[in-house]
């Protein structure tokens, strides 16, 4: 049986990045290591997320080891998706590796799946575990924004601005597919910031007929371009399928553009760097306060701590309100 007794003091913490990479993960890593250093705790970094935890790929990190990474996109620790970690046997091996390295607390930087794994690691093996929301999808509650979302949306908006130039020159309709398989936050914010006519997201149902009517009305009102943002994955045939169905029996001149993985990369924006710094520091502070099984986040500029379970089961952020705003302004 694992020893579930908590250590009296925290001496060594492990940090990993997990799930999809997101800009700002390095800023958070740097902050975790330096905040731990300031609190006289030692740190180990785990390569490639839970996969590296199972393979025992841990190495000591000190304040100097995280120099020069703040401005880098991706994650210098590497990340991975691990099927073995989803099994009790896999987590048992991972926990053994952590114990052998003298680890008593873990900071997990990742998305909702990573938080679910983090909860099990704490429940089953007694490590104090704190999460940091690191995903471009913004699909965790307990924070207004997740790390990487701001950078990803800025990348999408930059691409949309360029597409708008050519769309307006040709009087064209564009369907732009952005990331967000199960969450439409990137589509919503890039639609709002890029002046789209409609955004199609998994959170809300829509009909081809009404999108077609909206687009035709926009052109009839004198618009020289129309942009429809489509969140990836939710629709049959993706943005290409949507485009075919929406333009059916019209003579609309349309093109489809899929932004793809470029949305994940690039230097983190100021917002993601500052968020990474704040959340990395807050994660260490939470551990020092004896917290466990919580995620740190930022809401209305305040640091908040949310039990893991709530981060993927509830969400009180006003997605619908912003969708309504986008709709009212698209005229």
Binding site residues, ligand ATP, CB under 6 A:
18-20, 50, 81-82, 85-86, 110-114, 116-117, 120, 135, 137
Phi, psi of 153 (to 5 degrees): -70, -40
The residue count of the chain comes to 331
Q: Are 134 and 16 spatial neighbours (Cβ–Cβ below 8 Å)?
A: no
Pick 148 or 280: Cβ nearer ligand ATP: 148
B/e letters for 279-292, b = 16+ CB within 10 Å, e = fewer, are: bbbbbbbbbbeebb
Nearest distance from C-beta of residue 94 to ligand ATP, angstroms:
10
* Of 21, 48, 137, 150, catalytic: 137
Q: What is the 3-state secondary structure (H, E, C) of 206-231?
A: CCHHHHHHHHHHHHHCCCCCEEEEEE
Pick 2 or 102: Cβ nearer ligand ATP: 2
Angle at 51 between CA 50 and CA 56, to 5 degrees: 95
Nearest distance from C-beta of residue 216 to ligand ATP, angstroms:
36
Tell me whether residue 158 is one of the annotated catalytic residues: no
Residue with tokens 């924004």: 145
Pick 115 or 215: Cβ nearer ligand ATP: 115
Q: How many other CB atoms sit within 10 Å of the CB of residue 68?
A: 11
Nearest distance from C-beta of residue 142 to ligand ATP, angstroms:
14
Q: Among all residues, whose Cβ is closest to ligand ATP? A: 113
Nearest distance from C-beta of residue 164 to ligand ATP, angstroms:
28
Pick 13 or 25: Cβ nearer ligand ATP: 25
Nearest distance from C-beta of residue 312 to ligand ATP, angstroms:
9
> H helices within the chain, ranges in order?
25-38, 49-55, 88-100, 112-125, 149-170, 185-194, 208-220, 238-246, 270-288, 308-313, 319-329
**42-46/58-61 β-pairing:** antiparallel
Q: Report the distance separating Cα 233 and Cα 257, nearest Å.
A: 14
Pick 135 or 197: Cβ nearer ligand ATP: 135
Task: Enumerate the active-site residues.
Answer: 137
């Amino acid at each position: 049986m694992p020893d579930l007794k908590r250590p009296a003091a925290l001496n060594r913490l492990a940090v990993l990045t997990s799930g999809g990479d997101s800009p700002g993960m390095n800023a958070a890593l740097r902050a975790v290591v330096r905040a731990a250093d300031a609190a006289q705790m030692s740190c180990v970094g785990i390569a490639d997320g839970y996969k590296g935890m199972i393979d025992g790929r841990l190495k000591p990190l000190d304040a100097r080891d995280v120099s020069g990474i703040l401005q880098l996109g991706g994650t210098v620790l590497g990340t991975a998706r691990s099927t073995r970690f989803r099994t009790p046997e896999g987590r048992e091996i991972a926990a053994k590796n952590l114990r052998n390295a003298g680890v008593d607390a873990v900071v997990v930087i990742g998305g909702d799946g990573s938080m679910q794994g983090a909860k099990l690691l704490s429940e089953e093996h007694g490590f104090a575990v704190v999460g940091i929301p690191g995903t471009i999808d913004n699909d965790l509650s307990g924070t207004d924004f997740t790390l990487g979302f701001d950078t990803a949306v800025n990348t999408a908006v930059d691409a949309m601005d360029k597409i708008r130039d050519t769309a307006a020159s040709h009087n064209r309709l564009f369907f732009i597919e952005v990331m967000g398989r199960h969450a439409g936050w990137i589509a919503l914010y890039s639609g709002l910031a890029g002046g789209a006519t409609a955004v199609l997201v998994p959170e809300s149902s829509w009909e081809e007929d009404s999108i077609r009517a909206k687009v035709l009305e926009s052109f009839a009102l004198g618009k020289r371009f129309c942009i429809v943002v489509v969140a990836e994955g939710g629709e049959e045939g993706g943005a290409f399928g949507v485009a075919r169905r929406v333009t059916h029996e019209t003579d609309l001149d349309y093109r489809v553009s899929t932004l793809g993985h470029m949305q994940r990369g690039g230097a983190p924006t100021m917002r993601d760097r500052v968020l990474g710094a704040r959340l990395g520091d807050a994660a260490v502070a939470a551990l020092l306060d004896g917290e466990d099984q919580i995620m740190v986040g930022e809401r209305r500029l305040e640091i908040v701590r949310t039990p893991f379970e709530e981060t993927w089961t509830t969400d009180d952020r006003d997605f619908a309100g912003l969708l309504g705003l986008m709709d009212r302004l698209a005229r």
